[in-house]
Chains A and B, each alone.
Chain A
Amino acid sequence: MAEPLLRLDRLSRRFGGVHAVQDVSLTLDPGEVLGIIGPNGAGKTTLFNLISGLDRPDSGRVYYRGQDVTGRPAHWLAAQGMARTFQNLHLFDRLTVLENVLIPAQRGRQPSLLRAIISGRSGLGPARVAAEQALAAVGLAALADRPARALSFGQGRLLELARALALEPRLILLDEPASGLSPAERQQLSAIVRGLRDRGLGVLLIEHDIPTVLGVADRVAVLNFGEKIADGAPAAVATDPKVLEAYLGGELAPAAPAGGRREPPWALEVRELHVRRGAVPALQGVSLTVAAGELLAVVGPNGAGKSTLLGAIAGLFPAHRGEVRLQGEVITGRSPEALARGGLSLVPERRQLFAGLTVRENLVLGAYPRYGLNGAWGGLPAPVGERLERVLALFPRLRERQAQHAGTLSGGEQQMLAIGRALMNAPRVLLLDEPSLGLAPRLVAEIFQTLRALRTQGMTIVLVEQNVRAALAVADYVYWLERGRVQRAGPPAAEAALAEQAVGLGAAAAARWKADMADTPGHSLLH
């Protein structure tokens, strides 16, 4: 049997105690599109870095065209025809669109000072033709002389693709090429990817937009906690219970029936909020309401704008249009510090603890916005001491580890500390961003039990969560966000059946993308 284009043999990479990638083996043939999906933090981008030479594996080998290329530098691999794009665009802002493509169009010929002095600009002549062809292939030829920084986000994605094509690759690694693209641009991208496959290239595709992956990939591999948990035909993967569990989380025991009624006055109200992240319109007119004492869940696929929504409420991102009201008072445009003093506490994604401080110090600092630091390291002011006692009662494990450095805690304990630190501020509204991120199911259950307990105590909580099933089990009310807009809202019982669809998986979704594919002409935009 012929050697595959790319073969990974038990690749592993650890960061500290975390197995970012563990024992991943894969193969890819020429003329094949392999989709790689998995929840946030599953290790997809780390895997790309290991393959493309930007990072070295701790163990395992990478074989490219039959040759062991483990540990080879990125530029060498690129010159051998292994091209990649980046999730968070690595464009050359100081150059024009054409110049961006001229760099890879030299195909690994190294810039030399002596040659440059002798031949000046003419040294780039041959590469220019290849660069112009690559731009034409993605439809950017008309923008060749524009500065790259003037491109829209979608055009930037296409430029990344053009740069990869200019290397004349045999293998192309695409890291989230569809994120931030409009539906029409996604269609164009899918057509380009099919065109590459038809020319005999191997394509490795990381993508959060599962319909795009299922529609374009010949085969799909699923990563979860750094391990490959499935590898097969798209239809089989989309309905695999293990995959569904990785995306949606396990079932939790059903919630206690919601107590409060949804009616004004609202604890928190968001009206027609528009927010941009760089060039990307991340929120496009989001409106939602949170009743006092309610646990509100905001769910939706990756890139839907969930974290942006929380950040905008907490004052981290400026609102382009629209307003936010906290207990009836307009708070749009206030600084994050002012909002924290006013009782709005955000538990950010990935915790953001003070790793070098102890658990107790982290907690005491959490009280700073409201209570200041007076005597924090001598005797605590009475209200801070009281709050500390209440938080430690809520998290007995934190009490045991009070003197330990936050950086040495396990992931679950760190999440508890992050929540506890936010509670120290005696928030009127608690904003939680992906508390289940990177946690094993048992810990997720534990964290969500705590959220229930908090709700019972009357805390108002807004929860952004990828783990849809767990969120539905604790929430009083659910908003579905998709591409920066509220798609639906309702009580969790009515929404549970739709969880699979929300992330683009399951039998119904599989049927939908099949229909999509039949509609899309498979023609190539290349040649």
Chain B
Amino acid sequence: MMGMSGRWQALALAAVVAAVVVVPWAGTGYVRSLVVLSGLAVVAVAGLALLVGFAGQLSLAQGAFYGLGAYGFAVLAVRFGWPAPLALLGALAGVGLAGWLVGLPMLRLRGHFLALGTLAFAVIVTVLLLELGPLTGGPSGLAGVPSLRRVTIGPLALSGEIQYCYVAWALALASLWLYQRLIRSEVGLALQAMSSSEVGTAAMGIDVGRLKLSVFVAAALLGGLAGAVYASYLSFISPAAFDIMLSVQLVVMVMVGGTATFWGPLLGALVVTGLVEVLRGVVAAVLPNVRGPVEIIALGLVLGLIMVWEPGGLVARLGQWRPGPRPAEVPGG
């Protein structure tokens, strides 16, 4: 494992799992909602981290795919009456197709142009969600999205919220496992190569366009999956939740965490989710008369500081503190 030694990592991972099991029981409803949302953020961030961190492709469309997943699931279930599992599959298929169609022309763009192109897509999605009233409910949103069936294990009757905590974090850990598996594989190598030199990678026999597109679609699918669960959890969704700020926040999570190991997406999602909540509280206390998402401004400042302080993300900085020599970063063997 990169960054920290194997024993430290195992311990830290055990602590995360223990927290996920215990916190939903111990915490308040507010805490539980944060557990669910941060778990879903981890899922979306793991996908985006592959694209932004590993492949060096800055996408501002991840929030849009999150929204498409949410609305795909909700519309299929509510408007067309599909059973929930089928609606989930349908939503994912739709998101995957959208990712492919958008990625095909978009990934010819580079750097700032890619960021602007994906930004345009995100804006279009928001507008469509608002304007396709008969389907999406327009600005007033869509209610009655189906929830998970209640499960009872012996004497333990899990509340709906606790169930969602576990589902979100099962998906989060699975996404992190996928992430780690991918970045240590031939795909991770090729993505890092591509981020150094696309021309060099093509000259080494790698079909750069195809690779980019497949990662773009994979990232979209993880975003869509998180969105679908989100819709089911809240049972009510409206377009405002999936505007461009969501995409920005997801990118911020990737940057804050870093991408060298699965700890990056995990920490990034947790730290930023927590930070937004803390800042919201602080802003409300300090400036009681100010309305609107002022905490975003503070978040921007924090991000700027982190980028100056440690451009490789928090995990890179933590990696330097870990005791013992740095293990070689070579796959195989």
Measured CB to CB, the residues of A under 8 A from B are 52-54, 73-76, 78-79, 83-84, 86, 90-96, 98-100, 102-104, 106-108, 110-113, 115-117, 119-125, 127-128, 144-145, 163, 167
Residues on B with C-beta less than 8 A from A103 are: 189-190, 193, 201, 204-206
Contact A95 B332 (CB under 8 A): no
A100 to chain B, nearest CB (A): 8
Task: Tell me if B202 is interfacial: C-beta within 8 Å of chain A.
Answer: yes
Contact of B187 among A98, A111, A167 (CB under 8 A): A111
Identify which of A54, A106, A120, A122 contacts B202 (C-beta below 8 A).
Answer: A54
Find chain A residues with CB under 8 A from B215 CB. Answer: 113
Query: Known: A110-B206, A121-B331, A167-B204. Contact between A116 and B197, CB under 8 A?
Result: no
Binds A, one of B13-21, B176-184, B268-276, B281-289: B176-184
| A73 to B198 CA separation, bound complex (whole angstroms) | 13
What are the residues of chain B within 8 A of A111 when measuring CB–CB? 185-187, 189-190, 206, 211
Q: Are A121 and B184 in contact (CB under 8 A)?
A: yes
B210 proximal to A (CB < 8 A): yes
> Is B193 in contact with A117, judged by CB distance below 8 angstroms?
no
Given contacts A92-B197, A116-B186, contact A110 B203 (CB under 8 A): no
Q: Is the CB of A124 within 8 A of B208?
A: no
Chain B contributes a number of interface residues (CB within 8 A of A) equal to: 35
Interface residues of B in 196-236 (CB under 8 A from A): 196-197, 199-208, 210-211, 214-215, 218
Let me know if A96 and B330 touch, CB within 8 A.
yes
Given the interface contacts A96-B329, A99-B331, does A120 sit within 8 Å of B214 by beta carbon? no
Offer 21 A-B interface pairs, CB within 8 angstroms, sorted by A: A73-B207, A75-B208, A90-B200, A90-B203, A92-B193, A95-B196, A96-B330, A98-B330, A99-B330, A104-B205, A106-B205, A110-B206, A111-B186, A111-B211, A113-B215, A121-B331, A124-B185, A124-B186, A124-B331, A127-B186, A167-B204
In the assembled complex, how far is the CB of residue A389 from the closest CB belonging to chain B, in whole angstroms?
43
Distance between Cα atoms of A95 and B188 in the complex (Å):
10
Which residues of B are found within 8 Å of A113, using beta-carbon distances? 182, 187, 214-215, 218
Residue-by-residue, is B32-58 near A (CB-CB < 8 Å gives 1, otherwise 0)? 000000000000000000000000000
Q: How far is the CA of A127 from the CA of B189 in the complex (A)?
A: 13
A94 touches B214 (CB 8 A): no
- Chain A residues near B332 (CB-CB < 8 A): 102, 121-122, 124-125, 128
Q: A84-B203, A102-B332 are in contact. List 14 more A-B contacts (CB 8 A).
A: A75-B208, A86-B203, A90-B200, A92-B193, A92-B196, A102-B186, A106-B205, A111-B187, A115-B186, A116-B187, A116-B188, A119-B185, A124-B186, A167-B205
CB pair B185–A110 under 8 Å, yes or no, is no
Q: In whole Å, how far is A150's beta carbon from the nearest beta carbon of chain B? A: 12
- With A110-B210, A116-B182, A121-B331 given, is the CB distance from A92 to B203 under 8 Å? no
Contact check, B199 vs A106: say whether CB atoms are below 8 A apart. no
A-contacting residues of B (Cβ < 8 Å)?
Answer: 178, 181-182, 184-190, 192-193, 195-197, 199-208, 210-211, 214-215, 218, 328-332
Residues on B with beta carbons closer than 8 Å to the beta carbon of A83: 203
Q: Which of B189, B203, B328, B331 is A78 in contact with, Cβ under 8 Å?
A: B203
Q: Using CB atoms, name the residue of chain A closest to B329.
A: A96
Q: B204 to chain A: which residues have CB within 8 Å?
A: 75, 78, 103-104, 163, 167
Q: Which residue of B lies closest to A173 (CB)?
A: B203
Q: Are A117 and B203 in contact (CB under 8 A)?
A: no
CB A112 to nearest CB in B, in angstroms, measures 7
A244 CB → nearest B CB, Å:
34
**Cα-based distance from A167 to B205 in the complex (angstroms):** 8
Contact B330 A145 (CB under 8 A): yes
A144 to B330: give the CA distance in the assembly, Å. 9
Bound state CA distance, A104 and B193, in angstroms? 11
Q: How far is the CA of A99 from the CA of B332 in the complex (A)?
A: 10
Give complex CA distance A124, B197 in Å. Answer: 21
Shortest distance in angstroms between A54's beta carbon and chain B's nearest beta carbon?
6
Contacting pair A107 B205 (CB below 8 A): yes
**B-chain residues with CB within 8 Å of residue A112 when the two chains form the complex:** 187, 214
**B193 neighbours in A (Cβ, 8 Å):** 92, 94-95, 100, 103
Q: Residue of B at shortest CB range from A163? A: B204
- Cβ of B197: which chain A residues have Cβ within 8 Å of it? 90-92
Contact among A73, A75, A115, A124 for B189, CB-based, below 8 A: A124
Q: Do B195 and A78 touch across chains, with their CB atoms under 8 A apart?
A: no
Please give the distance in Å from B279's CB to the nearest CB on chain A. 33
Which of A95, A104, A145 meets B328, CB within 8 Å?
Answer: A145
Residues from chain B with a CB closer than 8 A to the CB of A78 are 202-205
Of chain A, the residue at the smallest CB distance from B183 is: A116
How far does the alpha carbon of A442 sit from the alpha carbon of B201 in the complex, in Å? 43
Complex Cα distance, B263 from A57, in Å, reads 47
3 tightest A-B contacts by CB? A90-B200, A116-B185, A78-B205
Answer whether A91 and B196 are a contact pair too, CB < 8 Å, given A103-B204, A107-B205, A117-B178.
yes
Q: How far is the CB of A82 from chain B (nearest CB, A)?
A: 9
Task: For B202, list chain A residues within 8 Å (CB).
Answer: 53-54, 73-75, 78
Given A54-B203, A111-B187, A167-B205, check contact A120 B181 (CB 8 Å).
Answer: yes
CA distance A96 to B210 in the complex (A): 24
Residue of A nearest to B260 (CB): A94
CB of A308, distance to nearest CB on chain B (Å): 24
Closest Cβ–Cβ distance, residue A373 to chain B (whole Å): 29
- Shortest distance between the CB of A480 and any CB in chain B (Å): 35
Q: Residues of A contacting B181 with CB < 8 Å?
A: 116-117, 120
Residue pair A86, B205 in contact (C-beta under 8 Å): no
- Complex Cα distance, B215 from A263, in Å, reads 67
Task: List the A side residues contacting B182 at CB < 8 Å.
Answer: 113, 116-117
- A120–B207 contact, CB under 8 A? no
Complex interface: chain B residues within 8 A of A93 (CB): 196
Report B-chain residues with C-beta under 8 Å of the C-beta of A167: 204-205
Across the interface, do B207 and A110 meet the contact criterion of CB distance under 8 Å? yes
Question: Is A123 in contact with B186, judged by CB distance below 8 angstroms?
Answer: yes
Which residues of A sit under 8 angstroms from B187, Cβ to Cβ?
Answer: 111-113, 116
Chain B residues in 8 Å Cβ range of A94: 192-193, 195-196
B186 contacts across to A, CB distance below 8 A: 102, 106, 111, 115-116, 123-124, 127
Distance of A122 Cα from B181 Cα, bound (Å): 11
